[in-house]
A and B are shown apart, each in its own frame.
Chain A
Amino acid sequence: MSEKNEFKWGMVVDTDRCTGCQACVIACQAENNVSLNTEDRFHQRRAIEWIRIERYWEGEYPNVKAKFLPVLCQHCENAPCEPVCPVFATYHNNEGLNVQVYNRCVGTRYCANNDPYQVRFFNFWEPQWPKTLENQLNPDVTVRTRGIMEKCTFCVQRISRKQRELKNEGRDLVDGELKPACVQTCPTDALVFGNLKDPKSKVAKMAKGSRHYRLLESLGTEPNVIYLKKVEENV
């Protein structure tokens, strides 16, 4: 299955459907053992949110509109964060994922500087949870120590588990059966995940739609996350 490499993971974010509820942020936090973002971590601007909802206000009062933009690691095909790492702690795998190897990371934070989307996070402090929450840590995901970078992995633990399953059962991936935590949680289906190499998959079809664009496309990073423009009804 993986020898032929028929996967190129991608995501479609329909900004028209996003209500800004932040359920994806919480789901990601729980799935990926992201340490708790307490109030003072926000004040220090060191909160770790692998996916965040950027909120922009438009218009003058009383005609104010909030626009939401979920931003996560774009898993760029031509990722600027990769060549600057001196120790190959971040590299591109053959399924289109931008992978972070925690054990190699020395924490130069160069990747964070060269990341135009600001979706790479540095562990300034040792991650901490209240005693009661320690038992709910996901055993499939490493707890990152302080001094290293971390970022969205497209829930690589779910991807590899699914791939093992498919190999054992000897079948192909059914579109929609593999979902990262954020996609699984999104109540409005604003986030869609799938295999961009499969032309029949939902992501591949949506990515070709007339509303599609990619963040900071002019930089030439070729992200694997495709955004769909907001449909303006009451302009």
Chain B
Amino acid sequence: MSTSSQDNASAYWAENLRIIITYLAVWFVVSFVAGILFVDQLNAIPFFGFPLGFWIAQQGAIFVYVALIWMYVISMNKLDEKYDVHE
């Protein structure tokens, strides 16, 4: 168990969950809503020579994943400092 109090730990966990849920919501919308469910509608929009839906499904989503992980890393490092649970 860490040195922090019980309350501190639960507040840290609650905020951690909020961060994860936010990022995973973006992950879901990009991959499944834009890349799969509405890909045909998005394909009607041109995007630098690609149909937009096709581009998101084959390339765009991957760039978003990289960005999401690094934003998560930054958010969590800040959160660890805030609750003084960093290593």
Partners in one complex: no
